[in-house]
Amino acid sequence: MLDNGGMKKKAHKNTKKTVRPQDGMPVGKCQFSNKKQYVSEDAALKAMAHNVQSRSARSIMRGWVHAGDPFYHPIVKNECRAYKCPVCKLWHLTSVADPEHVRLTTRELMELHPEAMAVADKWLRTNTCGTSAYGDLRTNVVRSLADSKVADELWVEEWLWAIARSLYSRKLRLGQWHEWARMIAEGYAKTDDVMKPDASSKADFALISHITTDTDEMTELFNTPAHIAIIAAWQAYLHDELSRLNREAEPEA
């Protein structure tokens, strides 16, 4: 009996093998999503299969999987798919079945749009929009553009950020930023035309002076073609807001 016990212990030690990255050992954590990183899709799927096994093993024989197990997850996850992370370029697992519905974090979205963030910095880091407001505004705009699937081409447009800065003073809630972004996406689906502001037009002058703070900014916008979708969404937004204010101002009949 004693010998048998000793044998078992020894045999258990020998079957314990080192898990390699290609077999599903995570190689680190993504600094943007905080998810475990796997070297390939195959490795991620192996880890996922092991997670599923560990879950059923736990439910059948409690204590069979222990905290020292490299695959041990104290929280049950329902991962069903692996995807390549656009930011860290390694593989993660997700419980979201449809690839279209993986929602990137705002931080990931910013990493993916460096050119748009440069334009955002330019327009938002001025005295008209304090530094603490700047972060909130940028976050709300990025989130809204992504959720409404606004084309990348529009993310880098000077007009978009100039208008966003102007809208900020109206203290939009996140839902209103989404509404604005949705109007841009809808307008862009109808036309991707651009229009060049006309310096001799009083209407264009009024439009531009409304959202700029100095002559340098004015000159810049006069020389920058604007997507009609962006201008239309802005005007529609102001129109809705004006109608609401008018309705509220009218006494009940």
Residues in touch with Zn ion (CB under 5 A): 30, 85, 87-88
The pairs formed by 15-23 with CB atoms below 8 angstroms and a separation of 24 or more are: 19/70, 19/71
Nearer to Zn ion, 27 or 174 (CB): 27
Nearer to Zn ion, 29 or 149 (CB): 29
E strand or H helix that includes residue 28: strand 28-29
Listed residue (157, 154, 133) closest to 220, CA to CA:
157
DSSP-assigned letter for residue 252: P
Q: How far is the CB of 89 from Zn ion (least distance, A)?
A: 8
Nearer to Zn ion, 85 or 229 (CB): 85
Nearer to Zn ion, 87 or 112 (CB): 87
Mark out the alpha helices in 113-201 (DSSP H runs).
114-124, 131-147, 152-155, 158-168, 174-190
Place of tokens 């081409």: 153
Listed residue (184, 207, 183, 187) closest to 196, CA to CA:
207
Q: How far is the CB of 92 from Zn ion (least distance, A)?
A: 6
Q: How far is the CB of 33 from Zn ion (least distance, A)?
A: 5
Distance CA 239, CA 236 (A): 5
Q: Do 227 and 188 form a contact (C-beta atoms < 8 A)? A: yes
Nearer to Zn ion, 87 or 133 (CB): 87
Q: How far is the CB of 90 from Zn ion (least distance, A)?
A: 6
What is the Cα 199 distance to its own chain's centre?
37
Q: How far is the CB of 29 from Zn ion (least distance, A)?
A: 9
Nearer to Zn ion, 85 or 211 (CB): 85
What token pair was written down for 34? Answer: 């905080």
Q: How far is the CB of 149 from Zn ion (least distance, A)?
A: 21
